[in-house]
Amino acid sequence: LHIVLFSGMLQASDYAFGPEHVVQIKQLLGSNELRPGDRVVLEDGTYTGWEQFDFYAHGTSGLPVTFKARNPGKVVFSGAMGLRLYGEHLLLDGFVFREAWAVRGNLIDFRKEAGICAYYSRITNCVIDNCNDPAKEGSTSSENWIVLHGTYNRIDHCYFARKQVAGIIVQVWLDANGERYNNYHRIDHNFFGERAPLNANGAEIFRIGHSWSSQFPSCSIVEDNVFYHCDGENETISVKSCRNVVRRNLFYETRGSITLRHGHDNLVESNVFIGNNLKNTMGIRIINQGHKVYNNYLQDITGTGSNAAMVVRMGVYEKPTSETDLKKEPLVSYHRVVDVDIAYNTFVNCALIEFGQGCGDKEPRNVRFANNLISSSDVESNITVSNPAVFPGIKCFNNYVSFREGTDFSMEGFTRMPFVFEKPATGASRGIYRLRNEVRAELAGGFDYISMDATGSPRTDNVTPGAVQFSSQGKRFNIVRFDDCGPGWYEPLKKDFEDITQKTTF
Ligand code: CA
Interval between CA 202 and ligand 1 midpoint (Å): 5
Contacts for 77 with CB less than 8 Å, ≥ 6 apart: 46, 47, 48, 50, 95, 96, 97, 98, 100
Q: Pairing between strand 111-113 and 90-93? A: unpaired
Mean pLDDT of the chain: 91
pLDDT digits (tens, 9 = 90+) for 286-321: 999 999 999 999 999 999 999 999 999 999 999 988
Interval between CA 204 and ligand 1 midpoint (Å): 6
Contacts for 459 with CB less than 8 Å, ≥ 6 apart: 450, 451, 452, 453, 469
pLDDT digits (tens, 9 = 90+) for 206-217: 999 999 889 999
Interval between CA 380 and ligand 1 midpoint (Å): 32
Give the largest Cα separation in the chain, rounded: 79
What distance in Å separates the CA atoms of residue 443 and residue 42, rounded to the nearest whole number? Answer: 58
Interval between CA 71 and ligand 1 midpoint (Å): 37
What distance in Å separates the CA atoms of residue 198 and residue 141, rounded to the nearest whole number? Answer: 12
Of the candidates 30, 38, 87, which has an alpha carbon nearest to the alpha carbon of residue 58? 87
Interval between CA 49 and ligand 1 midpoint (Å): 33
Whether residue 504 is predicted with pLDDT greater than 60 in this model: the reply is no
Give the residues across from 357 on adjacent strands.
Answer: 313
Q: How many CB atoms lie within 10 A of CB 173?
A: 23
432 vs 261, more confident = 261
pLDDT digits (tens, 9 = 90+) for 34-91: 999 999 999 999 999 999 999 999 999 999 999 999 999 999 999 999 999 999 999 9
Interval between CA 205 and ligand 1 midpoint (Å): 9
Q: How many CB atoms lie within 10 A of CB 415?
A: 14
Reduced to 3 states (helix: H, G, I; strand: E, B; else coil), residue 178 is helix
Interval between CA 46 and ligand 1 midpoint (Å): 34
Interval between CA 262 and ligand 1 midpoint (Å): 12
Of the candidates 369, 361, 311, which has an alpha carbon nearest to the alpha carbon of residue 335? 361
One-letter identity of residue 61: S
Interval between CA 17 and ligand 1 midpoint (Å): 41
Interval between CA 256 and ligand 1 midpoint (Å): 10
Interval between CA 259 and ligand 1 midpoint (Å): 9
Of the candidates 194, 182, 181, 186, which has an alpha carbon nearest to the alpha carbon of residue 170? 186
Interval between CA 208 and ligand 1 midpoint (Å): 12
How does DSSP classify residue 319?
P
pTM for this predicted structure = 0.95
Interval between CA 244 and ligand 1 midpoint (Å): 18
Interval between CA 233 and ligand 1 midpoint (Å): 7
Q: Pairing between strand 414-416 and 421-422? A: unpaired
Kindly calculate the radius of gyration of the chain based on its CA atoms and give it in whole angstroms.
Answer: 24
